[in-house]
Amino acid sequence: MMKITLLCALGMSTSLLVERMKKVAENREIEATIEAYSADEIDKQLKDSDVILLGPQIRYKKNQLFKKAKNAGVPIDIIDMKAYGATDGKKVLDQALDIIK
């Protein structure tokens, strides 16, 4: 079971996106835990996440968060702005899966 973690400002704005990603994963029979947290929880989330995606609204923290993820050996990326705005669960799930490969 893979764990996909989304980090945003408070962990709230991504909740709809998480639900849509879960539906897509379920339809494709992909075993995944998908959860959203505040960016402040990155240290805790790095311990058991297979991939971390950042909400575009926290891209200003990119250098700090990318450095921590690199040191922990966890792939990280910023969610595509259009996909985030459209809460496109399929596109964001595909982004996460592409990063893991």
Distance CA 4, CA 76 (A): 10
Q: Is 74 a catalytic residue?
A: no
Instruction: Provide the strand spans (E) within the chain.
Output: 2-8, 32-38, 51-54, 76-78
User: Closest Cα to residue 53, out of 88, 12, 99, 87?
Assistant: 99
Q: Which residue of the set 8, 52, 92, 96 is catalytic?
A: 8
Number of neighbours of residue 44 by Cβ within 10 angstroms:
11
Which of the residues are catalytic?
8
